Structure 1
Amino acid sequence: MAAKPSIPKGTRDFSPIEMAKRNYIFNTIREVFRLYGYQQIETPSMEMLSTLMGKYGEEGDKLLFKIQNSGDYFKGITDEELLNRDAAKLASKFCEKGLRYDLTVPFARYVVMHRDELTFPFKRYQIQPVWRADRPQKGRYREFYQCDVDVVGSDSLLNEVELMQIVDIVFTRFNVRVVIKLNNRKILTGIAEIIGEADKIVDITVAIDKLDKIGLDNVNNELREKGISEEAITKLQPIILLSGSNPEKIATLKEVLAASETGLKGVEECEFILNTLQNMQLNNEIELDLTLARGLNYYTGAIFEVKARDVQIGSITGGGRYDNLTGVFGLSGVSGVGISFGADRIFDVLNQLELYPREAVNGTQLLFVNFGEKEMSYILPILMKIRTAGISVEIYPDAAKMKKQMSYANTKQIPYVAIVGENEMNEGKVMLKNMETGEQNLVSPEELINITQK
């Protein structure tokens, strides 16, 4: 007996209706990206591991899917190395390539390789799948799409302002209420300095970033495990739990970080972004949140995260400023900032809230019933006219029983069915049935086009 087929955990199949929903997401996001002058690129699904490793921190490196070398991958490996069973060391010899973890690092690699062809500042968007060897759970997948938008070659904070506008417009178009959370890695660096743990900035940010998931007590325990002193942890508490309006938080941070030049620079950048956006009349709230850390090592300035208000799910968009990323590939002094929309989580949010427009989900708009060759010959030229008008139309391929053909239309939720028999052909018309109301009308092909277009 053949084994029952399956797919890897953390991956999904998508039906035609689900794909229509996903394309609605991609197309909506793509349209907004284009409004701001971004151009599309694509990069390979796999990259050299040397490109990927060391860019996401120790935890990120563990989540990279590595691709086993083809051919004799044991060549050059000693029996002693095999017997030691050091998985990480063996993987480095077995695998030269890996599936991309995100779209930002491949983008930085792209910029360096194509620098002579690009005009800076270079504004690109990219909509492609990424892979992470994470533990699958609700809202977290091993294969998922990201919709990234980045600009490199400009230090201007106007880029950050525009990215926040893009976020606001996208979710307004989706009719999803969100809160946009803003912080700055310079602020976090300043906090680490004033509590006396400047060399532990990475450990502190990784722990703080988990506050929503594991709670304050567990964050503090993780800080202790990383060697952060009790005195420093005590000093940290009122800072990461800072409350009040954005202007109140800014005022408090200016006092708290007065001794940190780096920290004050981060406060100044956040203040500019918030003040500029205040005049833009965003539809969604933007909140300065000091617990936001975005645990990726390459962020150096403003960082963002977007949470849905009406659905319990993790971040659905995130990103930030990275000043040093292209430097590791030999191109220094190129600043960048970008955000990534998590298409799969947005898909889940829109499903839960039932926010897909009907026209985005519907596929075929019109089905012609097939009674036989004579009727089919009459219908085919009409089909050409209908498709030329941009209307999605099918003819049932077989002269099956009427009940079967109508059942097909119902199952596919086709809103109109056209019936052509001897009488309709004699009059040069079509009997059009509205599947929702049951109403039937004898119409000309031109009238049929007008009705279905509406």
Structure 2
Amino acid sequence: MQKPSIPKGMRDFGPIEMARRNYIFDTIRSVYALYGYQQIETPTMEQLSTLMGKYGEEGDRLLFRVLNSGDYLKGVSPEELENPQLNRLSAKLCEKGLRYDLTVPFARYVVMHRDEITLPFRRYQIQPVWRADRPQKGRYREFYQCDADVIGSTSLVNEVELLQIIDEVFRRLKLRTRILLNNRKILSGMAEVIGAADRLVDITVAIDKLDKIGQDKVNDELRSKGFDEETIARLQPLLELKGNNLDKLKELEVIFASSPTGLKGIEELRFILDRLESVELESELVVDLSLARGLSYYTGAILEVKALDASIGSISGGGRYDDLTGIFGMPGLSGVGISFGADRIYDVLEELSLFPEETSRGTELLFVNFSEQEEHYLIPLVARLRRRGLRVELYPESSKLKKQMNYANTLHIPFVALVGESERLSNTITLKNMATGEQHSLSEEELVVALRPE
């Protein structure tokens, strides 16, 4: 019989992994709540028409399409099957797709529920997304995103608070990070001053790979897209500006003298940096003019977060989008959001051994099952202890004592309770510390105090 398997880029999660993942989710969820964000969920599948065209050409290629149920060949002619045009045939066979991110479904949600929500609307969402990408370290086909967005407000105070959220989450996770900050208007200004205003998408897709493939290969990609040497040469000094954040913006201001769009981007970044001066961020905040973020719907501030002590890609990102809901018939509604990559954060915390010991803590106390008579006695006792917040197991069968002790050791259960005939008659419990081997005879109340000394 063939051994079962799962698709590449997908994973199972065992109890320890789930406990650690929940530590990440709970940390993020608790910080979101501090800032007034409310939780929603959207379906796994969306109409393909909702998803297509929102992530750029590269994103469209990575969408998982779902084959229509029932007679999926209905409406497809024999000629189309014999001489298939892939895109047209795919559109007929697949009307739905797995969500690629949480932002586009959120925009669809806002439009559909516009009469039920109060603007500005702050929502967070922690759900899996799917991308038909090539699996590699830190990149999976199924992974969780932890998004927070505020929609219905153009105020840059929202960006300031989202950066504080990012800083607080990673402070709680004890992870040293660098936040990279840019603005799509600055990128538009770059395209204008080098004489390629109509080629913004090609420029941003290429320079977004700068930290991954280096300047020479970025230039090769620009050449392959038809950019001449003079235009490429004009772009280089813009990407190589030195100094602190304000120095870079000051120098850029001179270069952008003829670009109102670029100057507006500088003004927005200055606002954010100015407001954050009065807040002590633990994360390093760096204006990175090569940061582009490939998603085409961003229009203002954009950001990415890197872990300082681990070699992995972005572990968080986000940005401002001015009219995402317009594609669903509700124009002029500005929004800004961030997303934490929980799977990459997990990998970094594991690599750096930053998961607290208590995240893997399971059952605290195992009651040995000696016989049916003791089992009958223990069931209400165990129930009372659980009501008091203790994580307690009763071994389900009256097996040999060695087997039950091995079970406790294998699962790293720190205490075992022994209740035989003498304990039952005296209303006591023999508590054994599995690490030291020490045993004490305790009442039920003394047991609770022993396991909950605070």
TM-score, length-normalised on structure 2?
Answer: 0.98
Aligned length: 453
Residue pair 1:182, 1:292 contacting (<8 A) in 2 also:
yes
Q: Gaps spanning 5+ residues in structure 2: where?
A: none
Aligned to 1:41: 40
Aligned to 1:366: 365
How far apart in 1 are the matches of 2:78 and 2:375?
Answer: 71
Render the CA deviation track for 1:296-315: whole Å, top value 9, x for unaligned: 00000000101111111110
> SS at the partner of 2:214?
helix
1:428 corresponds to 2:427: yes
Give 4+ residue runs of structure 1 displaced > 4 Å after superposition: none
Q: CA deviation at 1:228?
A: 1.8
Aligned to 1:89: 88
How far apart in 1 are the matches of 2:289 and 2:61?
Answer: 27
Q: CA deviation at 1:451?
A: 2.1
1:129 corresponds to 2:128: yes
Q: CA deviation at 1:401?
A: 1.2
Aligned to 1:412: 411
1:322 corresponds to 2:331: no
Counterpart of 2:192 in structure 1: which amino acid? E
Q: CA deviation at 1:243?
A: 2.3
| Greater displacement, 104-113 / 374-383 | 374-383
1:331 corresponds to 2:330: yes
Counterpart of 1:365 in structure 2: which amino acid? E
Render the CA deviation track for 1:397-446: whole Å, top value 9, x for unaligned: 01111111111111111121111122322321111122223322211111
Q: CA deviation at 1:86?
A: 2.2
Counterpart of 1:360 in structure 2: which amino acid? T
Counterpart of 1:209 in structure 2: which amino acid? D
1:249 corresponds to 2:251: no
How far apart in 2 are the matches of 1:352 and 1:403?
Answer: 36
1:275 corresponds to 2:282: no
Counterpart of 1:247 in structure 2: which amino acid? L
Counterpart of 1:90 in structure 2: which amino acid? L
Q: CA deviation at 1:247?
A: 1.5
Aligned to 1:149: 148
How far apart in 1 are the matches of 2:69 and 2:265?
Answer: 47
Counterpart of 2:67 in structure 1: which amino acid? Q
Counterpart of 1:158 in structure 2: which amino acid? V
Counterpart of 2:398 in structure 1: which amino acid? A
Aligned to 1:290: 289
Aligned to 1:221: 220
| Greater displacement, 4-13 / 366-375 | 366-375
Counterpart of 1:185 in structure 2: which amino acid? R
1:79 corresponds to 2:78: yes
Counterpart of 1:396 in structure 2: which amino acid? Y
From the superposition, tell whether residues 243 and 410 of structure 1 become closer, same or farther in structure 2 (CA, over 3 Å): farther
Q: CA deviation at 1:140?
A: 0.2
Residue pair 1:200, 1:228 contacting (<8 A) in 2 also:
no
Aligned to 1:446: 445
> SS at the partner of 2:223?
helix
> SS at the partner of 1:441?
strand
Render the CA deviation track for 1:264-302: whole Å, top value 9, x for unaligned: 111111111112112100111111011110000000000
TM alignment of 1:7-18, pairs within 5 A: 7-18=6-17
TM alignment of 1:19-34, pairs within 5 A: 19-34=18-33
> SS at the partner of 2:115?
helix
> SS at the partner of 1:8?
coil
Render the CA deviation track for 1:72-124: whole Å, top value 9, x for unaligned: 22222222222223222211110000000000000000000000111000000
Aligned to 1:261: 260
How far apart in 1 are the matches of 2:303 and 2:77?
Answer: 47
How far apart in 2 are the matches of 1:173 and 1:155?
Answer: 29
Aligned to 1:120: 119
Counterpart of 1:195 in structure 2: which amino acid? I
> SS at the partner of 2:147?
strand
Aligned to 1:342: 341
How far apart in 1 are the matches of 2:278 and 2:144?
Answer: 33
How far apart in 2 are the matches of 1:440 and 1:180?
Answer: 52
| Greater displacement, 298-307 / 384-393 | 384-393
How far apart in 1 are the matches of 2:381 and 2:254?
Answer: 74
Aligned to 1:385: 384
Aligned to 2:310: 311
TM-score, length-normalised on structure 1?
Answer: 0.98
How far apart in 2 are the matches of 1:192 and 1:258?
Answer: 14
Counterpart of 1:310 in structure 2: which amino acid? D
Identity of aligned residues (%): 66
Counterpart of 1:323 in structure 2: which amino acid? D
How far apart in 2 are the matches of 1:402 and 1:360?
Answer: 29
Q: CA deviation at 1:215?
A: 1.1
> SS at the partner of 1:116?
coil
How far apart in 2 are the matches of 1:423 and 1:42?
Answer: 54
TM alignment of 1:166-245, pairs within 5 A: 166-245=165-244
How far apart in 1 are the matches of 2:205 and 2:437?
Answer: 60
How far apart in 2 are the matches of 1:366 and 1:291?
Answer: 54
Counterpart of 1:128 in structure 2: which amino acid? Q
> SS at the partner of 1:71?
coil
Q: CA deviation at 1:52?
A: 0.2
How far apart in 2 are the matches of 1:23 and 1:299?
Answer: 30
Render the CA deviation track for 1:149-198: whole Å, top value 9, x for unaligned: 00000000010010000000101111111111100000000000000000
Counterpart of 1:164 in structure 2: which amino acid? L
How far apart in 2 are the matches of 1:428 and 1:179?
Answer: 58
From the superposition, tell whether residues 381 and 72 of structure 1 become closer, same or farther in structure 2 (CA, over 3 Å): closer
Aligned to 2:161: 162
> SS at the partner of 2:53?
coil
How far apart in 1 are the matches of 2:7 and 2:129?
Answer: 15
How far apart in 2 are the matches of 1:453 and 1:112?
Answer: 50
How far apart in 1 are the matches of 2:172 and 2:21?
Answer: 15
1:5 corresponds to 2:27: no
Residue pair 1:375, 1:420 contacting (<8 A) in 2 also:
yes
How far apart in 2 are the matches of 1:263 and 1:256?
Answer: 9
How far apart in 1 are the matches of 2:452 and 2:255?
Answer: 62
How far apart in 2 are the matches of 1:415 and 1:277?
Answer: 46
Q: CA deviation at 1:368?
A: 0.7
